[in-house]
Amino acid sequence: MACPSSRLGVLALSLAADIPDDHGTAQRLHRVTIMDKYLLRKRPRDLFSHAPSLSPPAANSGERKAEVEVKTKETRGGMEDDEESTDVKLATLASLYADISQDILLDLLIANDGSIPLTCSAVNAELSSRKKIKRSINGNLGIQSSLSSYGMASDGPAASSKTVTKRGQTLHLFSPQDISKHTPCTIIHNFLSAEDATSLLKELLCESETFSRQRFQLFENVVESPHSTGFYVSSSEEQRQQKSEYAYNGNYRTDVRQLTPELRRISKSVQKAVNEEIQKRIRDHYPNGKKLQYQSPLEWVPNAAFVNCYDGPSESVGYHSDELTYLGPRAVIASLSLGVAREFRVRKVVPPDEANVDGSSSSSDTHPTSRADIQGQISIHLPHNSLLVMHAEMQEEWKHSIAPSQMISPHPVSGNKRINVTYRWYRASLHPKNTPRCRCIRALCQIVDVQIVVNLHGDPRAPALQNKLKH
């Protein structure tokens, strides 16, 4: 005679094979019927509650087990089966559902006439409904299931060229698989340990108190960025060079800082993760498994970081591509998000001759959102402690933005603030001493009413000529 443990193992395997799956309308209706039957026969209670009040007195346990055996005999026409005693059935159910107390399992077994398959159906139906509720709650935090779970099957890397966005609409992506397939980005959720992410967030929140808003010239107007920024480099020598040699929009930066202790420590993890993602991108998405033309053959090494602070749902940044003067073509940029979750929207660059493909007469100048509506846009949700890698094809072919939000879920540490760290690699070959420099001054020609650039830097005739241009 086989030992009880071996019989129990065989019985568990055979019963597990009989458990109905979650597919098919008939099976779902059957499970609903079973649950309704259970709810009608038993008083309302939470199947998975571990409250002490749900545990019946031990003295009644034998009576309840006897009730199971009686109902089993009635179901089988009075035929008794010693190998399927109530204890064996309870042990089988306990092995399948270790998180549910035996008292609850016994109640379910009684409600289903001692049938293990019917009991499993009832439990599976309840677990399935609870998973759906949990998934919808997690979706509000920015992490949801893949598009493939909605019937959008993946055809491999070749399918990434297919357009999934619709004109004038926003497609929201959450899973890493969908993001890497439909955009030039990859995302890593929970990139740092919870302790490291909190430490870095607290450090940068203190730093953000002294951040400033960038100002730049847009035609004849001075524009201020809708968020504050701090700029960090690795060493004191790089700090000096950034203040005196690297020019941005014709100006030198005055506020350049050295990496904070946490930023410096985390940068090693960022470097390792980004280079791994670059190799995956090359293998899975690039033609012939090779780097793109003009992409640097060297390893990506971050040596500078912009830290942006978005204080509240209204602070944002419009569609743009990052400046590549010192990063070079096909640049890779890593973005670490901390604090409040926000939407990172991307869209392909639309050539001017395709702006009105429908034959309409409206222009992108009079309708600034029309160009984004040509192919639609994609929204990537960036929760706390997520690392987004913008790959080599991103800056030249796509634009990105942080969209204003009507409402946000406050973070327990940062409140309404989002801290974003963009790690960049300033290539030595593109140092200002190695690149052509435009020696120019700006003047406004009122004759044609446009801004022009006069190449007269250092020329003694410059003041006189500039004065003539103004008149």
What are the per-10-residue average pLDDT scores of the chain (471 residues)?
43 42 47 45 43 41 56 49 69 82 82 85 80 48 49 44 72 92 96 96 96 75 82 94 87 91 95 98 94 94 95 90 92 97 92 54 45 77 97 95 90 96 94 75 39 45 51 43
- The C-alpha atoms of residue 196 and residue 126 are separated, in whole angstroms, by 37
Compute CA 317 distance to the chain's CA centroid, rounded to the nearest angstrom: 18
Amino acid at position 288, single letter: N
- The C-alpha atoms of residue 298 and residue 278 are separated, in whole angstroms, by 11
- The C-alpha atoms of residue 39 and residue 16 are separated, in whole angstroms, by 24
Q: Indicate yes or no: pTM above 0.75.
A: no
- Give the right CATH number for 170-351+372-434 from 3.50.30.20, 2.60.120.590, 3.40.718.10, 3.40.30.10: 2.60.120.590
The 8 Å CB, 24+ separation contacts for 322-328 are 322/395, 322/422, 323/248, 324/395, 325/430, 325/435, 326/246, 326/426, 326/427, 326/430, 326/431, 326/432, 327/424, 327/425, 327/426, 327/427, 327/430, 328/294, 328/296, 328/427, 328/429, 328/430
For the CA atoms of 252, 253, 257, 258, the dihedral, rounded to the nearest 10 degrees, stands at -30
* Six token digits for residue 63: 């009576």
Q: Which residues of 433-454 are buried (b: 16+ CB within 10 A; e: fewer)?
A: eeeeeeeebebeeeeeeeeeee
- In this structure, what DSSP letter does residue 169 have? -
Which helix (H) or strand (E) segment holds residue 165: the answer is none
For the CA atoms of 110, 116, 119, 124, the dihedral, rounded to the nearest 10 degrees, stands at 160
Q: What is the torsional sign of CA 59, 62, 63, 65?
A: positive
46 dihedral zone (left: phi>0; alpha: psi -120 to 50; beta) = beta
Question: Which pLDDT value is given to residue 282?
Answer: 96
Q: Where in the chain do CATH 2.60.120.590 domains reside?
A: 170-351+372-434
Question: Which pLDDT value is given to residue 444?
Answer: 38
Question: Which pLDDT value is given to residue 22?
Answer: 47
